[in-house]
């Protein structure tokens, strides 16, 4: 018979453990009951680890490189590691310098790979990301649209397009994009139909490479379906997007 591993409750006790536990539970969407259990055993992976690294840097005001999460994957281990006196002397907020505004930008390695694969495979929808969100309760649809529009305007990734200049693909960032929230009414069985419409081909040269539709399925029940192209978004981006519009 297969062995069953039971994790006894060992809740966070110190201030550092409690701080980490709050961030941990928000990222993994689950309560913390054992500070000695690995982040990755709780459902964490490389993308959520990157989010955790960033959130810990903000909370503790010290650098938290990604490799340290693999070396100290438990709340108890992280709390001790982050409390080391030598780290306290390095307290600072990590600042990412803003690049100068340019008419075009070279693509990163991952952008080049996605761009090349997208253009060599006809009718390739594998990079068209879809994620639905259920919204229950009173909803001001106009405010939802304005919130999404504000997030799209705030982040350059959502205003990026990809064009070819002198035979080389490059990225452009436009000042403003025209985003409109599509709306529909029906039942939850209509979700695949709406999602299929959002999966329509993207013109990578014409931002935004982002779409959204609100399906109303009841008086106080809606499904927000968001779509984007993977060249401008990944799991971290989608988590950030949901956090910012919520």
The whole-number pLDDT of residue 220 equals: 92
Residue burial 76-96, b: 16+ Cβ < 10 Å; e: rest? bbbbebbeeeeeeeeeeeeee
| Joined tokens for residue 242 | 């949901």
The whole-number pLDDT of residue 87 equals: 55
For residue 184, which of 212, 161, 210, 158 has the smallest C-alpha distance? 212
Residue 214 CB partners (closer than 8 Å, separation 6+) = 141, 144, 181, 182, 183, 184, 222, 223, 224, 225
Do the Cβ atoms of 161 and 205 come closer than 8 Å? yes
| pLDDT tens profile 137-165 | 999 999 999 999 999 899 999 999 999 99
The whole-number pLDDT of residue 238 equals: 75
Residue 55 CB partners (closer than 8 Å, separation 6+) = 23, 27
Do the Cβ atoms of 113 and 126 come closer than 8 Å? no
Do the Cβ atoms of 184 and 222 come closer than 8 Å? no
The whole-number pLDDT of residue 121 equals: 77
What percentage of residues in the chain have a pLDDT greater than 70? Answer: 91
pTM of the model: 0.69
Report d(CA 213, CA 9) in Å as an integer. 42
Query: Residues 58, 64, 69, 72: what is their CA dihedral angle, to the nearest 10 degrees?
Result: -110
Do the Cβ atoms of 115 and 204 come closer than 8 Å? yes
| Joined tokens for residue 237 | 């981006």
| Joined tokens for residue 245 | 């519009």
pLDDT along the chain (246 residues), means of 10: 53 91 89 88 88 89 90 94 67 67 92 89 81 91 92 91 95 92 93 91 92 94 93 80 79
């Amino acid at each position: 018979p297969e062995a069953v591993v039971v994790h006894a409750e060992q809740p966070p006790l110190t201030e550092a453990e409690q701080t980490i536990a709050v961030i941990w539970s928000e990222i993994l969407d689950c309560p913390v009951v054992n500070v000695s259990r690995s982040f990755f055993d709780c459902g964490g992976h490389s993308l959520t680890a990157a989010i955790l690294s960033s959130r810990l840097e903000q909370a503790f005001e010290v650098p938290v490189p990604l490799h340290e999460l693999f070396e100290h994957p438990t709340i108890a281990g992280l709390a001790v590691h982050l409390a080391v006196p030598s780290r306290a002397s390095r307290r600072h907020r990590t600042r990412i310098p803003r690049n100068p505004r340019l008419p075009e930008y070279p693509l990163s390695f991952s952008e080049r790979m996605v761009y090349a694969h997208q253009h060599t495979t006809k009718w390739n929808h594998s990079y068209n990301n879809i994620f639905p969100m259920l919204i229950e309760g009173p909803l001001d649809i106009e405010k939802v649209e304005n919130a999404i529009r504000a997030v799209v305007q705030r982040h350059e990734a959502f205003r990026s397009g990809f064009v070819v200049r002198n035979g080389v693909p490059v990225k452009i960032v436009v000042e403003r994009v025209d985003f409109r929230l599509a709306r529909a009414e029906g039942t939850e069985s209509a979700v695949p139909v709406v999602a299929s419409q959002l999966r329509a081909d993207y013109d990578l040269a014409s931002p935004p490479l982002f779409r959204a539709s609100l399906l109303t399925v009841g008086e106080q029940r809606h499904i927000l379906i968001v779509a984007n192209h993977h060249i401008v978004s990944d799991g971290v981006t989608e988590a950030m997007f949901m956090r910012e519009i919520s």
